[in-house]
Structure 1
């Protein structure tokens, strides 16, 4: 058996792990995500894969986030016939995320051509909305804990990873050998998502390290949210929250609804300006086994914000004054409607830009978090005068102590652990921590590296 790290190694994005063995019907990909963040990473999305898509026998998808799923439309466009295995909830989310991704790429290409700020003439999308919709036809959702055949003596099964709706870690069995891919691991005490299932037996483990060198702030995020909302009300300010459309947006809606119900914040207008997040919020109520919210809480989360649907409504928000709260994608401020809100509100010192999730290197979010005095949007520079706030405890990724606790739930030690899905310093830090705590054989693979597993 051989595993090749085609993405998600040395970086948080672009997860793609190629597994090859004679017992498989053909090579399989574990996740198929987009590189995001730094330009040199994004350019890799244009590079051909090191495996012919027509030769792949299957893709197994851990969850719907684009850094794990966003390359699938291009894979299908280039000849992959399927199947794409995933959980039911992940499929429902991909029906929303992938066409939206194609649409946004088309929009950005059109905007670049109109304003002529791209170095490419013409600027072309990586794939289109139509490409994304075609890729949905080869998805094959499966239930967790069901063993699905991949070949003569090969199978896989899914387990709840607790990261977002539908997220799973995957155990693949090939000729009696077991390899687990953690995907993105959630947190044991998340306010919305259920805790990840315990780590089951495996011979090899590929584990994420997004927060491999950090512990989350244990301060109360609800108290800080209330304080910020009260400040915005008092100062007639605008709070812009770049939020991941899947997971973070729903958590924020739930918490704001709870705060309003308890009278802990004024009746400040809240707008959800992300068509994708709007659709995802509705899906949440269909998969209550995946999260902690009851039917009433789901309803309240859906009702707390006014949904902004049309581009005209979105543009109108930028002409209004506070107090108001705008929740909008994308979560790292790399695209989507939120960048237009940043253009409108980031230069006003009374406004607040609130980050509530991981910001990958090279993104606008990471730049603002690092104290950038200006940001570039659509070829123009905007001064960062607004107050920049980060609530780290909102993260849907396990920190290093939570990852170690998850590893400690294993009944037997794996023969080898590969640490991936993290910046180089985070992955190496987690490697050291695993070696120190468990004395396991741990390695940090580099991008493009292949490993033979006996």
Structure 2
């Protein structure tokens, strides 16, 4: 029998990446992500996976972002005992991200219970910090371009995808069939990260489509960021920048440092990185110089051009300071974390600024702020949005539609089939159309739960 793929996530949506590959009694899961955004998507995290975790032989991760790795603690707690295969940087980043995710799950449940805001009594976390720490024992790291056997008789090889530290595309060779998972593709013109490598030849390709229906603007992130931060610094306001702790925080820090060097921003403008995850991630850039464009001096500047805020007490103390200042804090789509406290504190003042960087998944607070809503709910309270809102479109760490097609064109031969995944329906279908009409390849957008024989 031919191998098959079951789409357990990131099918007609941009979140929850999970692809189950089966062949002759064995199965492996490529990516193991959480659903985020709309409540109906988040509820999928609580539903049965569709395969017993104990039946899965191995998990392979393209990278560490939670929409690709954040379901792992639950999978392991519920019976998965196999190995989790990843690059070294992905393993290190998961060591930062997953325990923090478990901690936030516990905090959210505790808050709901304290304030009697849940229909469940008691509200329970999806998983705990301890669940996350335990699953980290199952990780095995692999170098790029060195094949390994995740399942007896199967071969897997990582190649660099750009995007963030450790991000990889995965070539999986099963039953004589070559399946390529793009993972999240970075940009050729990224400010910090190296560009993605050319894809290896494959019979079937799964390609992400986060930006499948658009092109990045011609402006660069440094100029866009300078144009909005300079006025707020001049008027003594506070800029709150929700950032992804892995990738976006470091790009924005680097851009601010360049703006200070150029004189666009005052050198004495206080900048705070209020995210322990982002602080720890920033330190990893020195350990993986081949993955990014930054010089040794620029990596050093990442850790010294801002005040690194680790403790909750230091985070709360920021509220006693006056502007001007810039606060970078996770999460990047304002779905949780310390940034919510800063948004609650500063969003009501017209002198202040909220800077949204990159894609805001539908259903998140970030998407609602970007859409111009005048009030958002934080910790059970309605918070007025009177601050200026700026969305920096050039900050994305994803390849756009043209860049994704250019990556696909680097394949030596047309694959038999392309599955367009990890994108909202409009973006995924537009990229499908372009692949079909411009490359003349067979392409389709799979549905959640669909099973396709290869």
- Please state which band the TM-score falls in when normalised by the shorter chain: over 0.9
What does residue 332 of structure 1 align with? 333
Instruction: Quote how far apart the aligned CAs of 1:219 are.
Output: 1.1
Question: Aligned equivalents of 2:234 and 2:112: distance in 1?
Answer: 39
Does structure 1 retain, via aligned residues, the 8 Å contact 2:271–2:305?
yes
CA contact (8 A) 1:144 1:159 kept: yes
Cα distance per residue 1:143-182 (max 9 Å; x no partner): 1111111345321100000010000000001122100011
User: 1:226 deviation in Å?
Assistant: 2.0
CA contact (8 A) 2:57 2:151 kept: no
For 2:397 and 2:224, locate their aligned partners in 1 and report how far apart those are by CA, in whole Å.
18
1:186 paired residue number: 186
SS in 2 for 1:7: coil
Residue 416 (structure 1) aligns with: 417
CA contact (8 A) 1:182 1:207 kept: yes
- 1:215 equivalent in structure 2: 215
TM-score, scaled to structure 1: 0.98
Compute the displacement of 1:227 (Å).
Answer: 2.8
Query: What is the 5 A alignment of 1:425-444?
Result: 425-444=426-445
CA RMSD of aligned residues (A): 1.0
1:81 and 1:450 mapped to 2: Cα distance? 24
**Partner in structure 2 of residue 342 of structure 1:** 343
Query: What is the CA–CA distance in structure 1 between the aligned matches of 2:145 and 2:234, rounded to whole Å?
Result: 51
| Distance in structure 2 (CA, Å) of the matches to 1:323 and 1:426 | 38
Aligned to 2:163: 163
Alignment partners' CA distance in 2, 1:285 and 1:150: 29
Q: Superposed, which structure 2 residues align to 1:279-318 within 5 Å? A: 279-318=280-319
1:43-122 alignment runs, 5 A limit? 43-122=43-122
Aligned to 1:252, the other structure's residue is in SS state helix
Q: CA 1:152–1:335 in structure 2 vs 1: closer, same or farther (change >3 Å)?
A: closer
1:207/1:418 contact within 8 Å kept:
yes
- Counterpart of 2:39 in structure 1 is 39
- Is structure 2 residue 395 aligned with structure 1 residue 387? no
SS in 2 for 1:318: helix
SS at match of 1:191: coil
May I ask how many residue pairs the two structures share in their alignment?
451
Residue 217 of structure 1 deviates from its aligned partner by 1.3
Distance in 2 separating the partners of 1:215 and 1:344:
34
Name the residue aligned to 1:28.
28
Match in the other structure for 1:201? 201
Preserved contact between residue 85 and residue 150 of structure 2 (Cα < 8 Å): no
- Could you tell me how far apart the structure 2 residues matched to 1:387 and 1:35 are? 30
Say yes or no: does 1:257 pair with 2:287.
Answer: no
The separation in 1 between residues aligned to 2:387 and 2:260, in whole angstroms, is 25
CA contact (8 A) 1:82 1:139 kept: no
Q: Is the 8 A contact 1:117 1:378 kept in 2?
A: no
Q: Tell whether the 8 Å contact from 1:213 to 1:400 is kept in structure 2 after alignment.
A: yes
Q: TM-score normalized by structure 2?
A: 0.98
Instruction: Confirm or deny: 8 A CA contact 2:6 2:449 kept in the other structure.
Output: yes
Q: Report the Cα offset of residue 392 of structure 1.
A: 0.8
Q: Which whole-Å CA distance do the structure 1 matches of 2:453 and 2:102 have between them?
A: 36
Task: Report the 3-state secondary structure (helix = DSSP H, G, I; strand = E; otherwise coil) of the residue aligned with 2:343.
Answer: helix
| Distance in 2 (alpha carbons) for counterparts of 1:150 and 1:130 | 26
* 1:419 Cα offset (Å): 0.4
The offset of 1:117, in angstroms, is 2.3
Corresponding residue number in structure 2 for 1:397: 398
Q: CA deviation at 1:410?
A: 0.9
Q: Distance in 2 between matches of 1:446 and 1:157?
A: 27
> What's the offset of the Cα at 1:313?
1.5
Residue 220 of structure 1 and its aligned partner are, at CA, apart by 2.7
Which one is further off, 422-431 or 224-233? 224-233
For residues 431 and 412 of structure 2, what CA distance do their matches in structure 1 show?
20
Residue 96 of structure 1 and its aligned partner are, at CA, apart by 0.3
Kept after mapping to 2: 8 A contact 1:238/1:325: yes
Q: Where does structure 1 lack aligned partners over 5 or more consecutive residues?
A: none
- Give the whole-Å Cα distance in 2 for the aligned partners of 1:152 and 1:381: 54
Partner of 2:355: 354
CA distance in 2, matches of 1:403, 1:315: 42
Deviations, residues 177-203 of structure 1 (Å, cap 9, x unaligned):
100011101001101100000121000
2:447 paired residue number: 446
Using the TM superposition, give the Cα deviation of residue 260 of structure 1 relative to its aligned residue in structure 2, in angstroms.
1.8
Question: Tell me, what secondary structure is at the counterpart of 2:328?
Answer: strand
SS in 1 for 2:19: strand
SS of 2:420's equivalent in the other structure is strand
